[in-house]
Amino acid sequence: MTSGWLSWVRANDVEIMTLLQNQASILVKASSVLAESISDFSTLKENNTTLKNLEQEGDELTHKLFTIIDKTFITPLDKEDISELTSAIDQVLDSTYGTSDKLVLFKIQKPSLHLQELVTLLVTATQEIYKGVSELHKGKREKLLIHSKAISKCEHDGDSVYRLAIANLFETHDAIDIIKLKEVYETLENALDRSRDVADAIEDVALKYR
């Protein structure tokens, strides 16, 4: 395709891309709120309510996106690409809130270094997701690939942190704490895994519409 492959002006196109960007923006907010909670556990319960609201807001945007693309004959991207992207972002958001919810439910008393490392990677990944989604309408293949690779790096680094966290966890002797923290680590690591799905969706778009 020629340059400017998303030079569209149709109202539905604008609405679809705006909703995707809003969804990504909510995800950045959610990861930042989770990072604050893990940095300062005194904010955990209040922030968990905030995250629940953000997760519900994200669900509403996802539902609205699916409704629009179902009724729209021609979309700015393939319907399959839009569906994959919005679903993947929604899954990252679900796991972000899920991490917070498990910290509250399991009454975790203090953060670990590994939790802080993982959530820092998640914040970076979500920021790159937002940048990537914001670039979609510009059609700059190189920039999209840069953001996709940056997200994937966060996921890769997260795998290393997660393996070390689990290894260290089993050096403790409290079986209940092991089970609780393992659940939290897995949920947070899943958020990073799903961010890789977003990266793949962005990369697919970049390679398809060049």
Per-residue pLDDT band at 5 (split at 50, 70, 90): very low
Asked, for residue 1, whether it belongs to a domain, the answer is no
Number of domains in the chain: 1
Asked, for residue 87, whether it belongs to a domain, the answer is yes
What whole-number distance in Å separates Cα of residue 3 and Cα of residue 138? 9
pTM of the predicted structure, to 2 decimals:
0.91
What's the pLDDT tens digit per position in 103-151? 999 999 888 899 999 999 999 999 999 999 999 877 678 899 999 999 9
What's the pLDDT tens digit per position in 27-41? 999 999 999 999 999
Asked, for residue 74, whether it belongs to a domain, the answer is yes
Q: Which residue has the tokens 């060049």?
A: 210
Q: Which domain holds residue 161?
A: 11-208
Asked, for residue 117, whether it belongs to a domain, the answer is yes
Q: Helix (H, G, I), strand (E, B), or coil: what is residue 70?
A: helix
The per-type count for the chain, helices as H runs and strands as E runs, is: 6, 0
Q: CATH code at 62?
A: 1.20.58.220
Rg (CA), the chain: 18
Asked, for residue 191, whether it belongs to a domain, the answer is yes
Asked, for residue 2, whether it belongs to a domain, the answer is no
Asked, for residue 83, whether it belongs to a domain, the answer is yes
